[in-house]
Amino acid sequence: MRNRWLPASLLLALLAGCAAPAAVPGTPQPSGPEASPTRTPPPTATPDSPPGPQARAYEPQTDSQGAVVFEITPLDLSANSETLEFEVVMNTHSVDLSWDLAAQAVLRTDTGREVSGLSWPVGGGHHYTAILTFPGRTSDGGALLDGANSITMTLRATDVAERVFTWEVRE
């Protein structure tokens, strides 16, 4: 009888040694892949943290002419920016979206300044999101948004002749 309990006792001791130790209050706990799934990771920010600088949010503009729905949102329209970036979301079920929007886009202010698109990562498919970039300065070196109250983006020759999006510029 004693011989039967010896292997069982050794097995229990071995299993107890492999089990994760109980957390001791006040001791740091591992995080990442080695952490137990029942442990809660420490918060990354505290409620007392002062808010950092944030870009002003602009409302998305939507154009649903033709077979493609465009939703365009300015990411930042700061007058002193070297580039102006816009998130472009395109959705369709019938048209290939592999246009070069940088070559098809113009950005114009209410003060008459104008620039053409600078960059667009050409993609494809029926659902595509990317960043359309424009220079923040005109060919004469002046800031595009200097003194502007509004900005208008015109996209030509997509699945329709022209799409127009306008935002009020806030300082």
Q: Where do the structural domains in the chain lie, given as residue ranges? A: 67-168
Mean pLDDT lowest among 9-13, 21-25, 40-44, 106-110: 40-44
Q: Which fold has domain 67-168?
A: Immunoglobulin-like (2.60.40)
What is the rounded (10 degree) CA torsion for 92, 120, 141, 73? 40
User: What confidence score (pLDDT) does residue 57 get?
Assistant: 80
Which tokens in the block code for residue 85?
């970036």
The candidate with the shortest Cα–Cα distance to 108, out of 63, 144, 61, is 144
